[in-house]
Amino acid sequence: MTSAAVSPATAQHGSHPRKIWMDGHLVDPADAKISVYDHGLLYGDGCFEGLRGYGGRIFKLDSHLRRLEASAGHIRLKIPYSRAELADATKATMEACGMANCYIRMVVTRGVGTLGLHPFKCPRPGVIIVVDTIQLYPHELYKAGMKVIVAKRPRIPVTCLDPSIKSLNYLNNILAKIEAIDADVLEAIMLNTDGDVSECTGDNIFAVKDGRIHTPPTSAGILHGITRQFVIDELAPALGLPVDERRMQLDDLYSADEVFLTGTAAEIIGVSAIGDQTIGIGRMGPITARPSPRVRRRIDLLERNG
């Protein structure tokens, strides 16, 4: 007889049973249920954020909450809680789960409505906060770098769906992710319909060439990544490295000295190869490796001061 796998929803963290925050209440995972009439389920109508907790503190919390609020505003969805209330709810959920180092998923759905598309027949949005762990990529790849591919499927054009909206409909990303899975790699680079480099299925992308860092602009069809902005505004200046936000072609990646990806879940990870093309020295390069101690110090400061 095979042993049953433990569901993340029912697992405990140490002596603490998991709790889910739903619409103002902490509930057991078994009681964390949404209606089959919720438009978040029926149509992917809603938005979300992924955050990181380090030592009980949440990295760039206000930036994430502002982006969530902006995403909701773009789809005319009024979040029924203030940023301060959501911050308090997130911290309370972390404490209830006994998890100081964690991944946090905050979800806002359109709410319960009819089977039709009409979003304004949903009287109240639903809000869910899940605190768990996440490990997108094996630990060893953070030193060795990882291989990625270029997806055949392009990014949805900006004029069709603004990529700054972190919506619950991730099918464009998921279908590109399936291409990566079929190729036995963990991530895929997506191009926009102009053939420019956009982003990966879950990460922003950077290239290093001759001591300069290059990254696609937001107009290329990318999410306004919080970790991406942290690299641009804080890490790169601290390292004395200029950053160029510009249109990029695949050749810019193939000829780069280093390529790395950033994201809340991924943090910062180097790329060793794109398809059959080795990047740089074929493992994490020296510039990609340099932010690691500074990121650690930034996190340590966060843990001490909040």
Q: What pLDDT shows up at residue 301?
A: 58
Do 218 and 292 have their domain in common?
Answer: yes
SS (H, E, C) the chain: CCCCCCCCCCCEECCEECCEEECCEEECHHHCCCCCCEHHHHHCCEEEEEEEEECCEECCHHHHHHHHHHHHHHCCCCCCCCHHHHHHHHHHHHHHHCCCCEEEEEEEECCECCCCCCHHHCCCCEEEEEEECCCCCCCCHHHHCEEEEECCCCCCCCCCCCCCCCECCCHHHHHHHHHHHHCCCCCEEEECCCCCEEEECCCEEEEEECCEEEECCHHHCCCCCHHHHHHHHHHHHHHCCCEEECCCCHHHHHCCCEEEEEECCCEEEEEEEECCEECCCCCCCHHHHCHHHHHHHHHHHHHHHC
Q: Is residue 2 part of a domain?
A: no
Q: What pLDDT shows up at residue 305?
A: 52
Q: Is residue 206 part of a domain?
A: yes
Do 214 and 126 have their domain in common?
Answer: no
Active site residues: 166
Do 127 and 189 have their domain in common?
Answer: no
Q: What pLDDT shows up at residue 8?
A: 47
pTM of this structure: 0.90
Q: What pLDDT shows up at residue 9?
A: 45
**CATH code of the domain containing 286:** 3.20.10.10
Q: What pLDDT shows up at residue 295?
A: 59
Q: What pLDDT shows up at residue 98?
A: 95
Structural domain count of the chain: 2
Helix, strand or coil, per DSSP, at residue 272? strand
CB-based contact 210:257 (threshold 8 Å): yes
Do 124 and 160 have their domain in common?
Answer: no
Domain boundary, last residue among 104, 132, 160: 132
Find tokens 């001061």 and name the residue.
Answer: 305
Q: What pLDDT shows up at residue 292?
A: 58
**Tens of pLDDT, residues 191-220:** 999 999 999 999 999 999 999 999 999 999
Do 62 and 183 have their domain in common?
Answer: no
**The two three-digit tokens of residue 214, written as one number:** 């290059």
Domain limits for position 103: 12-132
- DSSP 8-state assignment for residue 161: S
Q: What pLDDT shows up at residue 5?
A: 34
Q: Is residue 242 part of a domain?
A: yes
**CATH code of the domain containing 117:** 3.30.470.10
Do 106 and 152 have their domain in common?
Answer: no
Each of the 306 residues of the chain gets a pLDDT tens digit; together they read: 333 333 444 455 555 679 999 999 999 999 999 999 999 999 999 999 999 999 899 999 999 999 999 999 999 999 999 999 999 999 999 999 999 999 999 999 999 999 999 999 999 999 999 999 998 899 999 999 999 999 999 999 999 999 999 999 999 999 999 999 999 999 999 999 999 999 999 999 999 999 999 999 999 999 999 999 999 999 999 889 999 999 999 999 999 999 999 999 999 999 999 999 999 999 988 888 876 555 556 655 554 554
**Tens of pLDDT, residues 135-176:** 889 999 999 999 999 999 999 999 999 999 999 999 999 999
Q: What pLDDT shows up at residue 90?
A: 98
